[in-house]
Amino acid sequence: MGRNAKYTEKIKIEACEKYKKGKASFRSIAQEVGCNTTVFRRWYYAYLENGEEVFEFYNYKRLQKNLKTKAPMVYRNMVLQV
């Protein structure tokens, strides 16, 4: 059984936006959120490269749910196209 995400997507995005706008340092934002500075730095650089969607992939339960619902539809579409 997997563990629940400790930080929501919203918290991560708000923290990244705050740093991007120059309102605070990595350390102060990490302390405010309650995570390690290295963790926040990892979030920020992933956010810069991939945008807000990157945090959806860190939530395994959501990804797993999306795969379960999308995979049958993709397979069905492939079969119908043949």
pLDDT tens column, 41-65:
999 988 888 888 888 755 545 545 5
Question: Is residue 61 assigned to a domain?
Answer: yes
Say yes or no to pLDDT of 77 above 60.
no
Q: Which two tokens stand for residue 73?
A: 């539809």
| Tally of domains in the chain | 1
Most confident of 3-17, 20-34, 43-57: 20-34
The three state secondary structure string of 26-47 is HHHHHHHHCCCHHHHHHHHHHH
Residue 28's domain spans which residues? 9-81
d(CA 36, CA 34): 7
Amino acid 1: pLDDT? 43
Question: Is residue 3 assigned to a domain?
Answer: no
Question: Is residue 1 assigned to a domain?
Answer: no
pLDDT tens column, 31-42:
999 999 999 999
Mean pLDDT over each residue of the chain, to the nearest integer: 77
Residue 33, amino acid: V
